[in-house]
A = this chain, B = another copy of it.
Amino acid sequence: MKIAVLGTGDVGRQLATKLVALGHQVTLGSRSADHEGATAWAAENDAAHGTFATAAAGAELVVNATGGMVSLAALEAAGAENLAGKVLVDVSNPLDFSEGFPPKVATPDGASLAEQIQRTFPGARVVKTLNTMTNTVMVDPARVPGDHVVFVCGDDAEAKETVTALLASFGWPKPRIIDLGDLSGARGTELVLPLWLRLMGTLGTGDFNFAIQRA
């Protein structure tokens, strides 16, 4: 599949590298066409890079791996016309560090960032997933033993199926991909970040994940 990964941080590069390894045709999107990190990554991985708009325009599926506080601006730069009709996988977290650490989760009017993205780009088929774990676990769930889970939610059932298949190709067993229903489920998964960050401090590592155990 032709996939654009928007965002050149750890999360974006990790996802892009995995997608290349799985045989997808990946373009890493960044603010500028000559972004140093993106250029280096593309050369190393025999893949492409370009602006947010170039990357999104050529893609069938777009991953938003930009920082949550700048995601709306990055997607605006990508262009609504380049997102229309496409599956938009949102893995970002709206963490506001303006008052230092720990950050607050920015949820104006109680809406998640994923819902704000869907509202701003009604033509995109937004699916929220993977935002509740560190990037190494996202693409290699087996590195953490146990029956830990990944959440998906979104308003478009077919888009969720596409994303679920992608997660399965990352190594997520189907019973551990939990469908939380429509996109408002992202309110729950985004608000988990303060506990996640606290646990990272307590455990001294981000190399963990949540499991749900039932009676």
User: Residues on A close to B: CB < 8 A?
Assistant: 102, 104-105, 110, 137, 143-148, 151, 178-181, 184-185, 187-189, 191-192, 194-199, 201-203, 205, 207-215
Contact = CB atoms under 8 A, between A and B. Distances in A.
Given A180-B202, A205-B214, A207-B214, 9 more contacts: A143-B215, A144-B213, A146-B213, A187-B194, A188-B194, A208-B212, A208-B214, A208-B215, A209-B212
A203 B178 CA distance: 9
Nearest to A213: B146
Contact of A105 (B144, B191, B209, B210): B191
Tally of this chain's copies: 2
Interface of A is mostly: mixed
Contact of A207 (B102, B181, B199, B215): B215
Contact of A179 (B181, B202, B209, B212): B202
A157 to B, nearest CB: 15
15 contacts: A102-B187, A104-B110, A137-B215, A145-B213, A147-B213, A151-B195, A178-B202, A179-B202, A187-B194, A188-B196, A189-B195, A203-B214, A205-B214, A207-B214, A210-B210
A111 to B, nearest CB: 11
A45 to B, nearest CB: 25
Given A187-B102, A191-B105, A192-B191, A198 B180 contact: yes
A181 B205 contact: no
Contact of A192 (B145, B148, B195): B195
B188 A198 contact: yes
A210 B213 CA distance: 6
